[in-house]
Copies of this chain bind each other. A is one copy, B any other.
Amino acid sequence: MTGRVPRPKASITFLPDGRTVEAEVGAHLLDTAIEAGVRIDSPCGGQGRCGRCRMKVEAGAVRRRHGPGLTRPEERDGWALACQTTVKGDVTLAVPSPDELLHAQRPEAAAEKIALPIACDWRRLPAIRKITLDIEPPSLGDNTNDLDRLRRELARQHGIENIVVGVGVLRTVSRALRESDWHVTLTLDMRNWVLGATVPPRLLGITPASSPGRNLGLSIDVGTTSVVVFLVDFDTAEVIDTASAYNRQISCGDDVISRIVYSQREGGLERLHQLVIGTINELLGEVAAREGVELTDINEVTLAGNTTMIHLFLGLDPKYIREDPYIPTVSVPPRGSAGRLGLVTNPHASVYCMPSVGSYVGGDITAGVLSSGLFMTDKMTLFIDIGTNGEMVLGNKEWLISCACSAGPAFEGGGVKDGMRATTGAIEDVWIDRATLEPTYNTIGGRSAQGICGSGLIDLLGELFVTGVIDKSGHIAGDLPTDRVREGNHGREYVVAWGREANRGQDIVITEADIDNLIRAKAAIYAGFRSLCRGVGVDLADVEQILIGGAFGQYINVEKAIDIGLMPDLPWERFHYLGNTAALGAYTALVCTEMRHEVVKIALRMTYLELSADNTFMDEYTSALFLPHTDLDSFPTVKALLAAMGRRGRHTGVGGVGAARRGSAP
């Protein structure tokens, strides 16, 4: 084991048998369990998807990689997926019996239980209230009109002195009063702000008190690729169900820029608007069918998305977002009307879009700052959301600064020969044996490999680097003892999967050009971190926590991301995966009206650093165009790793450093 950085040992005990094995801190739990002879199923091949290798942590600390096989509440209950967990020290785990497992297995379609990501007093100022009224019927002697009669009783019985009633709702009032025999339930929007002026509550609906309807809300995350809806019960603030689907706008282009280009066609903007509305309505149909709810009981909607997605959702022309100097129409969008936007909810429901900071720091980021708690923490925190753009926020409860780096589509599989989106058949993690330089990998869904998605590309780049297949400039070495490296049509390349295994006819490769694209992408993001820190005179090493949001973020392997210089070289425990922070932020703003104010405050107080106007960014970017970085001292663990390997450690024939650091068997 020459050249390895020694790691402390830990003792791992498996209950109910009590078998114990020794392993390094950082060891994968699944490997350890297999080593200990614990009988464990892993039908998904260790992808964290099937949930069958679950164990309960009875004592000691582990580090979980969150995945679809386990819900957050299950994690809080102590469950961990062996294939997605490393040990932090001595640990005792209870291995469930096959029977218990069957019982614990959640139904395939049921929604993950989602909790409010931050503490907030959602009961204090509810956005939507249901109020029941018994009303004295009119007579010749008391012939007040229906609306004034209703208002009179609302004031008498509930102290609500007045309500705003639009023509649309008013059309339903007289019939509802009489059909209910003057015993009605009103649905009121209690927080009827108009730019700071508080106006009376607004009537959203009136029903017989005998069938008041549920009080539901909807939060939506409109991503460029995926749309996610949370159906929420306002009475409990709980997410009843979730659903997600591809954003139908994909048919008009994969990324924000191509959508903006499409929007400039004749009818293009309207089409994009209708496509996203159609996507949302389809998801609503899905949850309604599953939960047996009436969609018209959805009385309020919040929506997160990047600035372009919000423009298209509202039908605003995004043209100028793309043109220098990159100006959106609006940052704090006005309250929309669900009915007029075309949503199949209560048509009178308000729609609140999360506010943007600029064209490239959108409502997905402010929602993330909200749901991550960044805005109220004492700790110096870096929040990042990586996609086509790396959007990031540095700060704490005192101040916030943000920027967006155009990373290009490499991490989404674009501009990479065999890159693809994170769908079935995508290679999502890769290990390369340092001795043989043979790769092993997992694909999404366990299907035969179709290409490599973002997380797989980060893994691959890291493995290629630490095993010495590529040098710090990303050049593939020419003298390696493997047929995996060869000259292809696009220059030198490394074969990740042979055509026969890929069931695809062609080999899946990564070329030097691909590697160059990936290095430029990671350099842009890292340069963003550094520019943000410089902008406020903070040392990147002083960042106390790094919060990783976004759908993509949760699949990033931090170790590999550090190895390639995408993430700063900070202790792993400072990194936290938060899942879909945009969706969680929209949900938080939905159930807690104070948080809806808070997210606007966040947007208003967040400084936006325009990197294209920042001279230091180009310097930082140039310095970051190496693996991991020109300044290797900024990456002490990578430096130590490389030093320990003697840079050509693979030639020693002993276990690869990357593998060693990960703690798994080579």
Residues of A within 8 A of B (CB): 138-141, 143-149, 162, 164-168, 170-171, 173-175, 178, 194-200, 314-317, 319-320, 324-334, 336-337, 340-341, 356, 358-359, 608, 610, 612-613
Cβ 8 A contact of A317, one of B140, B171, B199, B315: B171
Residue from A143, A168, A608, A610 with most neighbouring chain B CB atoms (10 Å): A143
Assess the A167–B341 pair: CB atoms within 8 A: yes
* Smallest beta-carbon distance A608→chain B, Å: 7
17 pairs of residues in contact across A and B, judged by CB atoms under 8 Å: A139-B325, A140-B324, A140-B610, A143-B359, A145-B328, A145-B329, A145-B330, A145-B356, A147-B330, A164-B194, A167-B336, A167-B341, A168-B340, A171-B316, A194-B194, A197-B197, A197-B198
Task: List chain B residues, Cβ under 8 A from A174.
Answer: 316-317, 319-320, 327, 329
User: Given A140-B326, A145-B358, A166-B334, list of 5 further CB < 8 A pairs?
Assistant: A138-B327, A167-B316, A170-B316, A170-B329, A171-B315
C-alpha spacing A316/B356, complex, angstroms: 39
Assess the A167–B315 pair: CB atoms within 8 A: yes
Task: List chain B residues, Cβ under 8 A from A199.
Answer: 194-195, 197, 199
> Who on chain B is nearest to A200 by CB?
B195
Cβ 8 A contact of A327, one of B145, B194, B325, B336: B145
Contacts A162-B196, A195-B200 known; A613 to B167 CB distance under 8 Å?
A: no
Task: List chain B residues, Cβ under 8 A from A341.
Answer: 167
Task: List chain B residues, Cβ under 8 A from A144.
Answer: 327
The 8 A-B residue pairs whose C-beta atoms are closest, nearest first, are: A194-B199, A140-B613, A197-B199, A147-B330, A174-B329, A145-B331, A140-B325, A138-B327
C-alpha spacing A317/B143, complex, angstroms: 17
Contacts A175-B317, A320-B178, A327-B146 known; A334 to B139 CB distance under 8 Å?
A: no
* Smallest beta-carbon distance A96→chain B, Å: 52
C-alpha spacing A320/B146, complex, angstroms: 10
> Who on chain B is nearest to A151 by CB?
B195
Task: List chain B residues, Cβ under 8 A from A314.
Answer: 167, 170-171
Assess the B330–A143 pair: CB atoms within 8 A: no
Assess the A167–B329 pair: CB atoms within 8 A: no
Assess the B197–A138 pair: CB atoms within 8 A: no
Assess the A327–B170 pair: CB atoms within 8 A: no
> Who on chain B is nearest to A314 by CB?
B167
Assess the B329–A147 pair: CB atoms within 8 A: yes
Task: List chain B residues, Cβ under 8 A from A168.
Answer: 340
C-alpha spacing A52/B244, complex, angstroms: 78
